[in-house]
Structure 1
Amino acid sequence: MASSIETYIPHRGAMRLIDRLVSVGPDLVAVEADVRADRLFVQGAYLPAWVGVELMAQAIAAWAGARAMDRGEPVSIGFLLGTRRYVADCAGFAVGSVLRIEAHAELVADNGLGMFDCRIYAEEKELARAHVSVFEPKDGMAYLKESEGTPG
């Protein structure tokens, strides 16, 4: 099912770190990221492992975007709230590698809060894992304006 990821996520330009939607289901998504030397955050021959948290968040965004599209709604912005127990078994992801990022929805509440179990793999080897908390308000842009005190 590999398809253009920009259909499903709001991230553009250098901030888009994932490249393909591989599969999506009711509570699971898999995406791929090509680790290229010209990618934002790459240092020398590696993308630092701490960037894995953002890769996981963008995988979750792809899942949310696919769900929105299924409902006939536009893709919206969401917010990374935090992680629990982010563990990486490497200092960085090698340039030239293709990462597979999977996110499994453990909890998605009606108020937009969600918790996901996420994993990053390269060549079938698990390199990182975490529980990621996110928030997707009904209208992300209105939420941002309201939180800044700007009238909608």
Structure 2
Amino acid sequence: MNDWPLAELLPHAGDMILIDRILAFDDEQIRTCLTVRPDGLFNLPDGSLPAWVGVELMAQSVAAFAGCHARHKGNPVELGFLLGTRKFTCNVEAFPAGSELTIHGLRSLEDDNGMGVFECHITAPGIEASARLNVFRPPQASQYLQQSKESHDD
């Protein structure tokens, strides 16, 4: 297990870090968790968290997976991008306040160019959500962003 703070594994800041902690990770998967608090950034008036935020929970778990692997290898944590999601399903409209959500991400594909696909699930008593996330982590993210900025400045 690791004791790295999430803020060192995710390229997010402050309230934008939505997951609470990493439960486990290995070469192919990660398990994270979140207790839905009624005062969160995206919560509805009744304190619940809209189900569509589940995609972001999954994406942050995948980012934590990449961050854990980078730190484990002694490398800096790099920026990654969520390109899209396919087949997001959820059996509830919102995750109730107090729910203990477990997020599981399983890498099904990743190539040398940084493209990846993860099968993700969110579970809790009475709650099931799933999606396939397409992600991209450029090998040299800072150079990639600089090149992108320069091409727009021309």
Task: With the length of structure 1 as denominator, give the TM-score of the two structures.
Answer: 0.91
Match of 1:98 among 84, 93, 100: 100
Which residue identity does 1:88 align to in structure 2?
C
AA paired with 2:142?
A: M
The CA deviation at 1:60 is: 0.3
Alpha-carbon RMSD: 1.7
> 4+ residue runs of structure 1 moved beyond 3 angstroms?
1-4
Equivalent-residue separation in structure 2 for 1:91 and 1:82 (angstroms): 20
Shift of the alpha carbon at 1:7? 3.1
Q: Which amino acid aligns with 1:121?
A: T
Letter in 1 for 2:35: D
For the 8 Å contact 2:92–2:127, the answer to whether it is kept is: no
Return 38-47 or 60-69, whichever deviates more. 38-47
1:33 CA drift (Å): 1.3
Within 2, Cα distance between the matches of 1:48 and 1:127? 14
Q: Which residue of 1 aligns with 2:19?
A: 18
Give TM-score, length-normalised by structure 2: 0.90
User: Aligned-pair distance for 1:145?
Assistant: 2.2
Aligned residues between the structures? 150
Corresponding residue for residue 63 of structure 2: 61
Q: 2:30 matched to 1:29?
A: yes
Structure 2 gaps of 5+ residues are none
Unpaired segments ≥5 residues, structure 1? none
After TM superposition, give the deviation of residue 15 of structure 1 in Å. Answer: 0.9
Alpha-carbon shift at residue 9 of structure 1 (Å): 1.5
SS in 2 for 1:149: helix
Q: Measured at CA, do residues 27 and 126 of structure 1 come closer, stay the same or move farther in structure 2, by a change above 3 Å?
A: farther
Equivalent in the alignment of 1:113? 115
Q: Using the alignment, how far apart are the partners of 2:87 and 2:145 within structure 1? A: 28
8 Å Cα contact 1:24/1:63 also seen in 2: yes
CA distance in 2, matches of 1:112, 1:99: 28
Report Cα offsets for 1:58-105 as digits up to 9, x if no partner. Answer: 000010001111211011110000011000110011111121100000
User: How far apart in 2 are the matches of 1:91 and 1:146?
Assistant: 40
Give the Cα–Cα distance (whole angstroms) in 2 for the partners of residues 139 and 40 of structure 1.
Answer: 31
Kept after mapping to 2: 8 A contact 1:2/1:20: no
Identity %: 42
Shift, 1:2, TM fit: 7.1
Deviation at 1:129, TM superposition (A): 0.1
Is 1:2–1:22's contact at 8 Å kept on the other side of the alignment? no
Contact 1:119–1:130 at 8 Å: present in 2 too? yes
| TM-aligned CA deviation for residue 126 of structure 1 | 4.6
What displacement does 1:142 show?
2.3
